[in-house]
Amino acid sequence: MRRARYEEYEDPRRYQSRRIKADKAYEELGKPAKKAGPKRADQRKMAVKKASSGKRRADFADYEDEKDFKKKKNKIRKWDRIFAELCLACLIVCGFMVYNDQTEAITSLINTAKNKLGIEKVSVFSASGSSETKSKYVKVAGNFTDERAGTEFKFSDVDTSVTIVDHVLDGKVICIDPGHGTGDPGIVVGKYSEKDITYKVAGLLKKELESHGASVLITRTDKLNPTSEERAQKANQASSDICISLRMNSADATVKVSGAEAFVANAADKEASRLANDLLTGINTDSSIKNRGVKTGTISDPKKEYDMNSKTNAVSCVVFMGFMSDKTELALFTDKCESVSKGLADGVINYYKGI
């Protein structure tokens, strides 16, 4: 048996492992183990130098004792900690700069809204990003009564669009009654039913009106179908200021007819007639659906009244938004009914602006 030589191994760690085994073997034979001479010390220095140069990671076997190893390891950890702290500091500084720039941009936009648009009361109430344009949007609430409501103003100094929203509906309670319901689909054309269309438009209209400050009540859910008396009672219990009942129309296949029309209790109710006319005008403006005018009574009998008109205390009307028998109008309500809800919302806003 002979002792292993360092030259026979490329890795000092493997040499050390074999050396320990050899020492144990010598002890078992009763022979004293040889101490590592100057050559072994040089080997350790070479291994440490190789590790520190980045060619491989240093470990405990490369050092004379545990203190040297811990000292080197703590030194590495110290620099890692310093680097991490510097990165964190940079992130904090960058975040503060972005926040400060955004704050200055919003302040500048508010001042512009005040000075150029002549709005007395201005406050930021929402800020969000657009997934399509990736630009920041800031909605500014202002009290004013002209055509500037809903207009987007863009400024070249910052990548920001501002929507000025007229809060003319602050404090108003509006009841939306989507016609028909579970067990009573109303008009059905293919896979589309009147109850689903009216409920969808009601939900979109609710969001539009709430964005302008109104409190909105919908008389039913998608799984319920309350009676007309129950719907009127809900509107009265909420002390609704206005009540809009949404319906769809239909005609025989042999007759080509289209457009929106509204019904009020009687012609003498000027407020209801004005509300109905503003709603039809809004629908026509935003979706190009023909305005068939304001009528009295019901669709089948001008001498009768809809319960939502006769049994509610609010200013009310029943709006037949379009004909499901007309393919063009049906497509509007199944694919692009946002234009109809927007038109109805504009009608409500114009009604209150005219008071």
Q: Please report the pLDDT score of residue 84 as a whole number.
A: 79
Average pLDDT, whole number, for the chain? 76
Residue 129 has what pLDDT? 41
Per-residue exposure over 234-252, b if at least 16 CB sit within 10 Å of its own CB, e if not = bbeebebbbbbbbbbbbee
Q: How is residue 223 written in tokens? A: 């799984």
Q: Indicate the SS3 state at residue 127.
A: strand
Spell out the domain ranges in the chain.
Answer: 6-64, 66-165, 173-353
CA–CA gap between residue 292 and residue 278 (Å, rounded): 13
**Dihedral over Cα of 89, 95, 101, 104: its sign:** negative
Sheet of 215-218: strand order equals 215-218, 173-178, 242-249, 315-323, 260-264, 291-296
Task: Return the closest-CA partner of residue 38 out of 13, 71, 66, 6.
Answer: 6
Residue 99: per-residue pLDDT: 55
pLDDT at 311: 94
β-sheet with 122-129: strand ranges across: 122-129, 136-142, 160-166, 152-155
Q: Is the model's pLDDT at 340 over the cut of 60?
A: yes
Q: Are 9 and 47 in contact (CB under 8 A)?
A: no
Contact in structure between 283 and 291 (CB atoms under 8 Å): yes
Mean pLDDT value of segment 41-47 = 56
Specify the higher pLDDT residue, 167 or 144: 167
Report, as an integer, the average pLDDT of 26-40. Answer: 54
| Percentage of the chain modeled with pLDDT above 70 | 57
Euclidean distance between CA atoms 349 and 109, whole angstroms: 25
Q: How confident is the model at residue 336 (pLDDT cuts 50, 70, 90)?
A: confident
Q: Per-residue confidence at 320, pLDDT binned at 50, 70, 90? A: very high
Residues 178 and 195: beta-carbon distance below 8 Å:
yes
Residue 248 confidence (pLDDT): 97
Asked if residues 195 and 185 have their Cβ atoms less than 8 Å apart, the reply is: yes
- Alpha-carbon span 31 to 115, nearest angstrom: 100
Taking CA atoms, 150 is separated from 146, 207, 237, in Å, by: 10, 14, 31
Question: In the predicted model, what is the mean pLDDT of residues 32-48?
Answer: 53
Model pLDDT, residue 135: 37
Q: What one-character DSSP code corresponds to residue 221?
A: -
| DSSP H or E segment with residue 107 | helix 66-117
Strands 242-249 and 315-323: parallel
CB 308 within 8 A of CB 316: yes
pLDDT at 226: 94
> pTM of the prediction?
0.61
Instruction: Say what the pLDDT of residue 266 is.
Output: 86
Residue 206: pLDDT band with limits 50, 70, 90: very high
Higher pLDDT pick, 246 / 147: 246
Confidence at residue 278, expressed as pLDDT on a 0 to 100 scale: 96
pLDDT of residue 212: 84
pLDDT tens-digit series, residues 241-284: 999 999 999 998 888 899 999 999 987 789 999 999 999 999 99
- Tokens standing for 19? 């050396």
Q: Compute the average pLDDT of residues 279-306.
A: 94
Residues 67-122 have pLDDT tens digits of 555 555 566 566 677 777 888 888 887 766 655 555 565 666 666 656 655 555 55
The string of pLDDT tens digits covering residues 169-187 is 888 999 999 999 999 999 9
Those residues with Cβ within 8 angstroms of residue 4's Cβ, 6 or more apart along the chain or in another chain: 15, 18, 19, 22
Q: Distance (Å, rounded) from C-alpha 174 to C-alpha 246?
A: 13
Is the pLDDT score of 317 beyond 90?
yes
The beta strand positions in the chain, using DSSP E, are 122-129, 136-142, 152-155, 160-166, 173-178, 188-189, 192-193, 215-218, 242-249, 260-264, 291-296, 315-323
Q: Any idea which fold 173-353 has?
A: Aminopeptidase (3.40.630)
Instruction: Evaluate if residue 222 carries a pLDDT over 80.
Output: yes
What is the per-residue pLDDT for 105? 59
How far apart are the two ends of the chain, measured CA to CA in Å? 112
